[in-house]
Each structure stands twice: as structure tokens, then as C-alpha cells.
Amino acid sequence: MRIAFLGTPEFALPSLAMLIARGDTLCVFTQPDRPVGRKAVLTPPPVKALALERGVPVLQFEKIRSKDGVAAMEAFAPDLCVTAAFGQLLSAKNLAIPKYGTINVHGSLLPKYRGASPIQSAIIDGEAETGVTTMLTDIGMDTGDILLQARTPIGENETYGELSDRLAILGAGLLSETLDALGAGTLSRTPQDEAAATVCHMLTKEDGRIDCSLPCKAVHDLVRGTNPWPAASALLDGQPLKLWETRRSDASFDVPAGTLIERNGRLFVQCADGALEILSLQASGKKRMDAAAFVRGCPLDGKRLC
């Protein structure tokens, strides 16, 4: 089978590696190289790097919906398109090219969390379970018919980065099952329940802003749901302070919400219903540090996050 694979970040790598191992004829379509880091080093997307390493041809488009993007897809003439965290919407012309349609690997249990941040949003919202869905892409935003789903619990302290890695592997396995069922003629389609649909937006740095007037669980879920990006942060003495890792605790102090408390080498921040322990944090312009080392060089007891 000729498969056009459309993907960009690390989440797409297990699915691409699985397709390469299957031996199908592949062409990868991905985003352009982007400047990365303070030195703005032009860096290829992870999907491009893996494809070139494995000898798979790569085409890059700022907009796959463009005339050139559509023409390139038509020239490859895929039997099937597979998308995984591609980061662009496909047009009706794109979708009309493959005779078996376009299958998307999405990091949620659709119809919940359609959109750009399904994994982060599930954690931030305090979900106990999530999963991956393979769906037949239509012209809407993650609105196509569901093909297969796989569920998994979310760990109490699991971060966005950790869960994304797990779901990427789970998604590759589910994609393999989906392709096997397609080949066997046993693949069924289930329309999504629009009444149960939720939508999540692409996160910005502002979405990581900590509000300590919320319960401990909500603050903890925000910290882990934005790790590694965009990172949870608050202001300390007017300067940004990132909280990278926290743990719920039984501690509580008679101080205003947002107050930092040092006790026996441990660091806490008071929230609405108790104190959340801070395990690692990062001051502006500094490296990430564990809390015990941080407070040795910068005492925080009694200071307040805002």
C-alpha cells in the first residue's frame, strides 16, 4: 500500500516507525524546519529526522492546503493518508486524494478533547483516564467517524511529557490494528456523539499561570499538565518562577493562599484547601533545581506567589 504520512513532533514517531517496519511505500509530509533555542538554530521536525534516517522521502509545506501541497500529494498518489499530530488542517482537495481516505491518530478518547491540546487538557482538567483514537478524517476539527480506541489510566503524578510518550506508543499499536482491520475488510465506523464533544485550544504561556487560590489538586494538575510546555509559573518578588514538579500532601498552614513555607528541608505552597509540596522549580534565567537545593541559596519561607 502507498501511504502518505503527515506528522511533525515526537508524538508521531512511533506511528511512523511502525509504518516503516510494515514495509509499505511511504512518503512523509511534514512542517518546515524551524528555529529552536536562544540561538535560533534551524532544526528539522522530529518526523523529518527519523524519515531521512530510514531512507523515507520527505516533503515539507507551510500549508499542505496550498496548491503546491495538493499537487505534491496528487503526484505521490497515496492509497491512504495517515496523520499524527501534523499541526495543519487538510482541505477537501487533500482529503479527496487517497482512495481509502485519511486516518488520524488522536491523543484522546473522542469526542472528548477535540483540538490542539488533548493530552495536556486531560491532565489539567483532572481526568483519571484518557486514551487514543483512530478516526476517519473529514473536513471538521477531529469530527470524523471513530474507528478504534484504546484506554489508559492517567497517573496521579504523570506529566504531559510522560503521558504523551505513552500515548504515542499506544497510538502506534492502535494504528497497526486499524490498518490490519482495513486490509481484512473488517474495519467499522462509529459516528461521534456531538452532544458529548468537547474542544481544547492550543495552549499559550498564559495558560500555565498558577492560581494558588484554587484547590491543591487543581494547581498540581496544572503543573504536571504543562510540563514540559508551556510550564506552570507564578510571580515571586515580581519575577517569574516556574514550578516543574509538585506533590499533594496532608500539610496545611494558617497563611494566605500563595504563601511559601519551608519545613525541615521541604518546600510547600499554601492553596485553597491545604499545602502543595514543591519538588523542583526554576527562577528566571536560572537552571531547574530541586526545592531543597533552591532554598539553600534563596530562602523562600514566608514569601508569596502571585
pLDDT digits 0-9 by tens, 230-248 = 999 999 999 999 999 999 9
Same domain, 157 and 282: no
231 and 165 in a common domain:
no
Q: What is the pLDDT of residue 39?
A: 84
Residue 150 included in any domain:
yes
pLDDT score for 38: 79
* pLDDT tens per residue across span 170-218: 999 999 999 999 999 999 999 999 999 999 999 999 999 999 999 999 9
* 63 falls within a domain: yes
Confidence of residue 104 (pLDDT cuts 50, 70, 90): very high
What's the structural domain count of the chain? 2
CA distance 101 to 91: 13
Q: Are residues 278 and 133 in the same domain?
A: no
Q: For residue 137, tell me if it sits in a domain.
A: yes
**39 and 64, same structural domain?**
yes
Q: Is residue 302 part of a domain?
A: no
Distance CA(16)–CA(47), nearest Å, equals 8
Instruction: For residue 46, give its domain range.
Output: 2-200
- Name the strand (E) or helix (H) holding 95: helix 92-95
CATH code of the domain in which 152 resides: 3.40.50.170
> 275 exposed, middle or buried (CB, 10 Å; 0-12, 13-18, 19+)?
buried
Per-residue confidence band for 130, with pLDDT thresholds at 50, 70 and 90: very high
pTM of the predicted structure, to 2 decimals:
0.96
Do residues 179 and 260 share a domain? no
Q: What is the CATH number of the domain that holds 266?
A: 3.10.25.10
Q: In terms of domains, do 39 and 172 share one? A: yes
Q: Which of 1, 63, 56, 140 is nearest to 72 (CA)?
A: 63
Rounded to the nearest integer, the mean pLDDT of the chain is 97
pLDDT in tens, 57-91: 999 999 999 999 999 999 999 999 999 999 999 99
Same structural domain, 106 and 214? no
Same domain, 190 and 209: no
Sequence-separated (6 or more) residues with CB below 8 Å from residue 55: none
**125 and 26 in a common domain:** yes
Pair (11, 159) in one structural domain:
yes
3-state SS assignment for residue 106: strand
Residue 303 lies in a domain: no
Q: Do 165 and 102 belong together in one domain?
A: yes
* Position 304 in a domain: no
